[in-house]
Amino acid sequence: MDDCVFCSIVNKTLDKELLYEDDKVVVFKDILPKAPVHLLIVSKEHILSINHIQDSQEDLAGHMINIARKMALKYGVYETGYRLMFNVGKDGGQVIPHLHLHLLGGKFLEG
Ligand SMILES: [Zn+2]
C-alpha cells in the first residue's frame, strides 16, 4: 500500500525510529501520545483492522499482544500497569487503517 503511512514506516520509505522489529511487527512511539508511554505495535503486513484478521492469522494478534507485554517491561510500565487497545473502524476511533495495537501507560488511565 503506497499511500499507507504505517506501510511506509514498515518499508522504511518514511523515517521513523523503531523501538523494536521482528519478521511480523514493528514498534514505534505514537506521534500524538495520550500517555507518558504510548507505543504502537504494528503488523508488517497491511491488514486493515482486527475485522480483517483471518482465522489463519490469529497467531499474529497473539504475537502483537506478547510483544506489547515485552515493551511494557522494557519501558517501565509492567509493574504499574498499562492498557492495550485495538481501535476498530470509525466508532472505535481507528485513525490509520492498518492493524495496530496501542500500549498506554505511565499514568493512571481513566475508565
Ligand atoms: Zn499499511
Provide the residue ranges of all domains of the chain, joining segments of one domain with +. 5-105
Cell triple for 49: 483492522
Determine the distance separating the centroid of ligand 1 and the alpha carbon of 100, expressed in angstroms: 10
Q: Which CATH number fits domain 5-105: 3.40.50.720, 3.40.50.300, 3.30.428.10, 3.40.470.10?
A: 3.30.428.10
Whole-number Å distance, alpha carbon 83 to ligand 1 midpoint, is: 23
pLDDT tens, residue by residue, 57-103: 999 999 999 999 999 999 999 999 999 999 999 999 999 999 999 99
By annotation, the residues acting in catalysis are: 100
pLDDT digits (tens, 9 = 90+) for 96-109: 999 999 999 999 99
Q: How far is the CA of 56 from the centre of ligand 1 (A)?
A: 19
SS3 per-residue string spanning the chain: CCCCHHHHHHCCCCCCCCCEECCCEEEEECCCCCCCEEEEEEECCCCCCHHHCCHHHHHHHHHHHHHHHHHHHHCCCCCCCEEEECCCCCCCCCCCCCCEEEEEECCCCCC
pTM above 0.75, yes or no: yes
Beta pairing partners, 38: 104
Query: How far, in Å, is the centroid of ligand 1 from the Cα of 37?
Result: 23
